[in-house]
């Protein structure tokens, strides 16, 4: 039973609220003042506090701070909307205007209690995940991954620039997210930019923003991605793809904590933490003049190197199982398991596309498998060497969708087909329209 504390100095009002909430099955205690409430025991014993803003002695505002994690609803007269706004700013979860409407009060209390329960459940879930995996959502027990976790835990709480190295698909972005989530910037933005995906001519304006008229087509001034990361983390993936001019601008941002938009004469202060990643050999690029050595020295303060999947074979069974559960959840399929021969194949494969390839192979197998077991043939991996995996990787999900629909549509209803694909019937219909994949009528 949820426990609610009412602090209200007017006895009639306090008792009326207590009776009202007791009728809703809540355990309610009352106090005339903040001092009396504190004398009766720690505030943390309650699930919710409803307090008048004007009280004799310490007022309701003081209480918000004293309440810590316990949500506080403030009661205020219509005349003092201003103080209600102040109370919300200082952390009250809601306010109830006086004179109050009984139903409105009950609904506000119920909503605050529900949100508080949800928050507690989320915190418990997060703690559970943290306990299962040392760094949120990153699977790996092999020695090199343990080294990676140790570095993440050490460097995450600092503002140090981190350079993540590793082949494509080894989890560089995942590590960057984890560094952000474990830093004091976690409530700030994480802006992830793949430098290879922005055309060279646009990259400076995209990253650093521009003033109106800075170049043809710049009709309005625009904030860049670096500024958007202010107060948070900027993750620059494939940093080796940054053209030399942009490298110079980035270096200035890092050295001076200031940014100058393209075409601007004034600088603006920015507070960002940079995490960079690349699969390339930066010292080799420096030698041929494609990467600035001063930028390299500035970003290479702390290095995290991710091993390729082929060097992590002891992690493969756990990682495959983790990705299988993830795919089943995403595609709305009941839990599945790998057959023995599937696990043998997973161990034998070379995984040139690393974890991303493993994830794609598993997701496709989940889509194509009927039963609850994924067999070696569902994985469609050939052998450890010379397997044209890259060819299969080129098959887009749309092509799989097309093949899956054409193979199964004669035997399944649209509802069954949608369910097997893990999408709604409406989504199936829409995708059919988009791909020109009209339903074929069955002969006879
Ligand atoms: N150790 C891991 N545990 C669980 N999932 C992982 C792990 N490593 C990678 N993944 C998953 O594999 C996919 C690819 O990872 P990610 O995008 O982080 O790789 P990347 O190195 O940044 O690739 P690229 O260099 O091509 O951008 C993601 O879906 C990620 O969640």
Give one DSSP letter per residue of 45-81, joined into a string: G-SEEEEESS-SSS-HHHHHHHTTTS-EEEEEEGGGH
Residue 370 in any domain: the answer is yes
Distance CA 159, CA 270 (A): 14
Ligand 1 centre to CA of 356 (Å) is 6
Residue 156 in any domain: the answer is yes
Residue 133 in any domain: the answer is no
Distance CA 292, CA 287 (A): 9
Nearest to 300 by CA among 286, 311, 313: 286
* DSSP state, residue 133: S
Return the residue matching tokens 């035997």. Answer: 411
| Last-in-domain residue among 279, 307, 335 | 307
Q: What is the 3-state composition of the chain as percent helix, strand, coil, each rounded to the nearest 5?
A: 50, 15, 35
Residue 137 in any domain: the answer is no
The CATH number of the domain holding residue 41 is 3.40.50.2300
Residue 64 in any domain: the answer is yes
pLDDT tens for the chain, residues 1 to 444: 889 999 999 999 999 999 999 999 999 999 999 999 999 988 988 999 999 988 888 888 888 888 888 999 998 876 567 777 888 888 888 988 888 889 999 999 999 999 888 887 777 666 655 555 456 689 998 999 999 999 999 999 999 999 999 998 999 999 999 999 999 999 899 999 998 888 888 899 999 998 888 787 778 888 899 999 999 999 999 999 999 999 999 999 999 999 988 888 888 899 999 999 999 999 999 999 999 999 999 999 999 999 999 999 899 999 999 999 999 988 888 999 999 999 999 998 999 889 999 999 999 999 888 889 999 989 988 544 444 444 444 455 677 788 788 878 888 888 888 877 777 777 788 788 777 787 765 443
CB 166 within 8 A of CB 208: no
pLDDT at 46: 92
Return the residue matching tokens 């209200």. Answer: 8
Ligand 1 centre to CA of 127 (Å) is 22
Distance CA 142, CA 312 (A): 7
Burial 84-98 (b: 16+ CB within 10 A, else e): bebbeeeebbbbbbb
Nearest to 95 by CA among 52, 55, 66: 52
pLDDT at 382: 58
Q: Which atom of ligand 1 is nearest to the CA of 177?
A: 18
Nearest to 242 by CA among 305, 299, 199, 303: 199
Ligand 1: which of 133, 141, 174 to mutate, judged by most atoms within 8 Å of the beta carbon?
174
Ligand 1 centre to CA of 297 (Å) is 26
Distance CA 270, CA 273 (A): 10
The reply to whether 94 and 153 lie within a common domain is no
**Alpha-helix runs per DSSP H in 97-241:** 102-132, 143-155, 172-181, 203-208, 225-228
Ligand 1: which of 129, 140, 142, 173 to mutate, judged by most atoms within 8 Å of the beta carbon?
173
Ligand 1: which of 129, 152, 171, 197 to mutate, judged by most atoms within 8 Å of the beta carbon?
171
The reply to whether 113 and 253 lie within a common domain is no
Protein residue with least CA distance to atom 31, ligand 1: 174
The CATH number of the domain holding residue 323 is 1.10.8.60
Q: What is the number of structural domains in the chain?
A: 3
Retrieve residue 279's tokens: 């699969």
Retrieve residue 369's tokens: 């498998």
Ligand 1 centre to CA of 300 (Å) is 21
Residue 224 in any domain: the answer is yes
pLDDT at 54: 86
Distance CA 411, CA 268 (A): 63
CA 113 vs. chain centroid, Å, equals 25
The reply to whether 293 and 338 lie within a common domain is no
pLDDT at 396: 57
Pocket of ligand 1 (CB under 6 A): 138-140, 166, 168-174, 237, 279, 319, 322, 355-356, 359
Ligand 1 centre to CA of 124 (Å) is 26
pLDDT at 390: 42
The reply to whether 116 and 179 lie within a common domain is no
Residues in the chain, total: 444
| Last-in-domain residue among 256, 282, 307 | 307
The reply to whether 159 and 238 lie within a common domain is yes
Residue 440 in any domain: the answer is no
The reply to whether 123 and 152 lie within a common domain is no
pLDDT at 359: 94
The CATH number of the domain holding residue 264 is 3.40.50.300
The reply to whether 294 and 349 lie within a common domain is no
Protein residue with least CA distance to atom 29, ligand 1: 356
Distance CA 140, CA 313 (A): 10
Protein residue with least CA distance to atom 10, ligand 1: 171
Contacts 24+ apart (CB under 8 A), 245-250: 245/204, 246/203, 246/204, 246/207, 246/208, 247/291, 247/292, 247/295, 248/292, 248/295, 249/204, 249/207, 249/208, 250/207, 250/226, 250/295
Ligand 1 centre to CA of 156 (Å) is 18
Distance CA 315, CA 114 (A): 40
The reply to whether 223 and 351 lie within a common domain is no
Distance CA 103, CA 286 (A): 69
The reply to whether 284 and 414 lie within a common domain is no
Residue 99 in any domain: the answer is yes
What are phi and psi for residue 107, nearest 5 degrees?
-65, -40
The reply to whether 272 and 217 lie within a common domain is yes
* DSSP state, residue 108: H
Distance CA 378, CA 365 (A): 5
Give the pairing of strands 268-269 and 258-259: antiparallel
Return the residue matching tokens 């003033």. Answer: 211
Domain that residue 341 falls in: 310-434
The reply to whether 47 and 156 lie within a common domain is no
Could you tell me which residues come within 8 angstroms of residue 435 by beta carbon, excluding any fewer than 6 positions away?
398, 401, 402
The reply to whether 212 and 261 lie within a common domain is yes
Q: What is the dihedral of CA 360, 363, 364, 365, to 10 degrees?
A: 120
| Last-in-domain residue among 254, 280, 307 | 307
């Amino acid at each position: 039973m949820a426990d609610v504390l009412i602090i209200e100095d007017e006895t009639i009002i306090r008792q009326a609220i207590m009776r009202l909430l007791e009728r809703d099955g809540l355990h309610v205690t009352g106090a005339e003042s903040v001092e009396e409430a504190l004398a009766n025991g720690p505030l943390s014993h309650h699930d919710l506090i409803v307090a008048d803003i004007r009280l004799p002695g310490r007022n309701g505002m003081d209480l918000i701070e004293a309440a810590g994690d316990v949500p506080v609803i403030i009661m205020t007269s219509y005349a003092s909307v201003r103080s209600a706004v102040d109370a919300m700013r200082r952390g009250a979860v809601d306010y109830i205007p006086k004179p109050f409407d009984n139903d409105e009060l009950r609904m506000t209390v119920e909503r605050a209690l529900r949100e508080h329960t949800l928050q507690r459940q989320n915190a418990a879930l997060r703690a559970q995940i943290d306990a299962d995996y040392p760094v949120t959502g990153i699977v790996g027990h092999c020695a090199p991954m343990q080294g990676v976790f140790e570095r993440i835990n050490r460097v995450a709480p600092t503002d140090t620039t981190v350079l993540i190295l590793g082949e494509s698909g080894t989890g560089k972005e995942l590590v960057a997210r984890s560094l952000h989530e474990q830093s004091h910037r976690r409530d700030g933005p994480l802006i992830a930019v793949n430098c290879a995906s922005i055309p060279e001519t646009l990259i400076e304006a995209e990253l650093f923003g521009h003033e109106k008229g800075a170049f043809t087509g710049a009709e309005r001034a625009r904030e860049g991605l670096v500024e958007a990361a202010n107060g948070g983390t900027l993750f620059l993936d494939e940093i080796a793809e940054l053209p030399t001019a942009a490298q110079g601008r980035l270096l200035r941002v890092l050295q001076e904590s200031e940014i100058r938009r393209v075409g601007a004469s004034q600088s603006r202060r920015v507070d960002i933490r940079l995490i960079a990643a690349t699969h390339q050999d930066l010292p080799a690029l420096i030698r041929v003049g494609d990467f600035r050595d001063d930028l390299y020295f500035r970003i290479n303060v702390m290095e995290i190197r991710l091993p390729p999947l082929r060097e992590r074979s002891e992690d493969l069974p756990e990682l495959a199982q983790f990705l299988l559960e993830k795919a089943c959840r995403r595609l709305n399929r009941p839990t599945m398991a790998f057959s023995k021969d599937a696990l043998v194949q997973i161990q034998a494969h070379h995984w040139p596309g690393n974890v991303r390839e493993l994830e794609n192979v598993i997701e496709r197998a989940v889509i194509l498998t009927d039963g609850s077991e994924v067999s070696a043939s569902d994985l469609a991996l050939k052998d450890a060497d010379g397997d044209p995996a890259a060819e299969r990787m080129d098959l887009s999900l749309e092509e799989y969708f097309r093949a899956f629909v054409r193979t199964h549509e004669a035997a399944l209803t649209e509802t069954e087909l949608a369910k097997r694909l893990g999408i709604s019937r409406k989504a199936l219909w829409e995708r059919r329209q988009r791909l020109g994949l009209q339903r074929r009528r069955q002969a006879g």
